[in-house]
Structure 1
Amino acid sequence: MVHTTIKKALKNTLQDLRREDFLEFCHQLKDRREEPRVRYRDVENKSVLQITDLLVSTFTERGALPVALSILKLINCNQEAETLYSETRACVDVKGDPTFRKTSSGELDTKPSQEALNHKAGRWPFSSPVTGKTPQEVEAEAEARVLSEGGDPRNERLVLSRFMIQFGQYKDQTFKWLLENDLSYAAKMVACHEKQRQNTKCQSSLMANKDSLTRYAIAYPEVLQEVRFHRGYERSLQSGQEGKALVGFGKHRSETLEDLYESKDRDKISYINFLRNKKSTCDQGSKMDIAVRYILQRDKKQAAASRKRRASSDTRTGAPPKVAAKRGGRPGVGGRGGW
């Protein structure tokens, strides 16, 4: 049973803030760049109750929660953010659906979150042996976790979201946490596991855990999109198959690099030109970096082929090779009249 509401939890959290932290919270609230925006006069000299009402009326009760959590973390009130999240988790998470992160441009953020990076750093080097629990133990613990949060243990997806990962760098985190904090890694694991499942019927505890992760993850289109990208990327690693990788980002995310590059569509040509100028600004190893490197590689091959065709044409027509004139050369060499 849910013992609180989001609005009540927001009010309690703001009341627990120190005065200077509350003022900083209000300052950051009015400084948000995302829509809907909050005006200065809406937060100036307002009480906790008024700010709580403002959050709910502006963003809706459910929408106010991620806004408040992000601001609390921004002003380093991490303990308060954790408490707020814990108190409201059952209010918003009745189905076990992950909240996928977005970039400032609205794109799906597939890179590891700071929380994921901190988790990996804390586990390195891996010292504990990989001893996975049985599927029955994992499920029983997940059901107990759902009950402790006030959820319904009969909800299969909700229970599945609380399964603990039994392998790899995110061992002992939940499936839901993984999708929220490192979507690229999750999709890669699913793609690799599906490929592995084509060749084995092994029913080990580890494989069962990966089966469960796959069943949970592929229920979401965002994950399937990333799985498709990883499949295409794996194919592109084969010699001559570089263009088979999906773009994986932007408005042409579902296109292969080859199809995008060779398209005669004016909009796609413009997008290719846009990417050419991103060589020095995109993150190394990112999807954009992969796309830019492919485009520049194709450009280089096309330029070489063009030079070869011109040379071949000159040979057929008997045209003399072009010799560049040089200043300061010997008389009669490199120019018509010498000095």
Structure 2
Amino acid sequence: LSIRMKRKLIFSRRVEVNFRRGPTGYPRQDPSDEAKKIKNPDFQDRSPALREDKVKENAHSIVLLRGGDVTDKQEVLGEYLAQFGKYKGKSFRWILENDVGYVVYLTHKVEEEERAGQINPDGLKKESCLSFLEYSSFTEIVHLLEYISKRLAEPDHAVGIDDTLVGFGVHSKKTWREIWENRADGYVTFILQKNCVPGSKMFKLKQYLQASRSNVLSSFRDGS
């Protein structure tokens, strides 16, 4: 028995993240069919958030049982169960495999909070979120975030960008500036919460709105 156990430990493989790839080669940001089901409240975990040490203990046990390397922090983090948001109760690795767009959203959200000097008092939820973002520092994610940033810096995002037509939906004839200036109607919030296909009209509008919101937060901070 001990010999078989040793062989299992020696030949066990690290469980890799299976990213869904888009046409550009970057991880797809739209949610998988499994992730879409989570929109249904019946599939959401509403139990109280667990402490970080308990989450780590559970993840450690899972890795150990399958003969994985419990000294590999990234491997253990992959088995952490999220204690926040709509994917609460799902493993960190599952989230990366099923909704990379959620990673992008959380990254931008945390960056904006830091720039604005905001302190989120959510406690266990925020702690879990930060652990998830730490786990998400895969090369594929880093390159995707760099790609998104470069898209914002391209010429077509500079001169005349405010007058770009939305080009889809009920506000197709409105400009991006009009959408932002009338953000009180809730449409901006709606777009910012959407997972968009990179390069699409909605994706570009979302980037514009994110940049506009960041500028407002920066101006507020500088003026305070």
Q: Tell me, yes or no, whether TM beats 0.5.
A: yes
How many angstroms apart in 1 are the aligned matches of 2:129 and 2:49?
Answer: 11
How far off its partner does 1:152 sit? 1.4
The runs of 5 or more residues in structure 2 that have no matched partner are: 160-166, 170-194, 207-224
Q: Pick closer, same or farther for the CA change 1:258–1:178 going to 2, 3 Å.
A: same
Q: Which amino acid aligns with 1:174?
A: S
Report the equivalent of 2:201: 289
Match of 1:141 in 2: 58
Partner of 1:224: 142
Question: Which of 248, 254, 269 is equivalent to 2:150?
Answer: 254
Q: Is contact 1:146–1:153 with CA below 8 Å preserved after alignment?
A: yes
Match of 1:179 in 2: 96
Contact 2:22 2:28 in 1 (8 A): yes
Change (3 A) 1:152 1:125: same
- Tell me the amino acid that sits aligned with residue 112 of structure 2: K
Measure the CA separation in 2 of the matches of 1:161 and 1:127.
20
Q: Give the CA deviation at 1:193.
A: 2.7
Q: Structure 2 length as normaliser, TM-score?
A: 0.59
2:110 equivalent to 1:193 = yes
Asked if the contact 1:142–1:160 (Cα under 8 Å) also holds between the matched residues in 2, the reply is: yes
Q: 8 Å contact 1:160–1:216 — kept in the other structure? A: yes
Alpha-carbon contact 1:143-1:153 (below 8 Å) kept: yes
The residue aligned with 2:192 is none
Shift of 1:194: 3.7
Quote the residue 2:132 is aligned against: 213
Matching residue of 1:30 = none
CA displacement, residues 194-221 of structure 1 (integer Å, 9 cap, x when unaligned)? 433542275821111112112111x223
The match for 1:306 is none
Instruction: Give the root-mean-square deviation of aligned CA atoms.
Output: 3.7
Amino acid at match of 1:142: A
Return the offset for 1:107: 4.0
Match of 2:49 in 1: 132
Q: Which residue of 2 aligns with 1:91?
A: 13
Structure with greater Cα Rg? 1
1:49 corresponds to which residue? none
Which residue identity is paired with 2:54?
A: E
Question: Which of 57, 60, 77 in structure 2 is aligned with 1:160?
Answer: 77
Q: TM-score, normalised by structure 1?
A: 0.41
- Larger RCO (CA under 8 A, 6+ residues apart): 2
Gaps of 5+ in 1: 7-89, 230-247, 264-277, 295-339
Q: Deviations over 1:52-75 (max 9, x none)?
A: xxxxxxxxxxxxxxxxxxxxxxxx
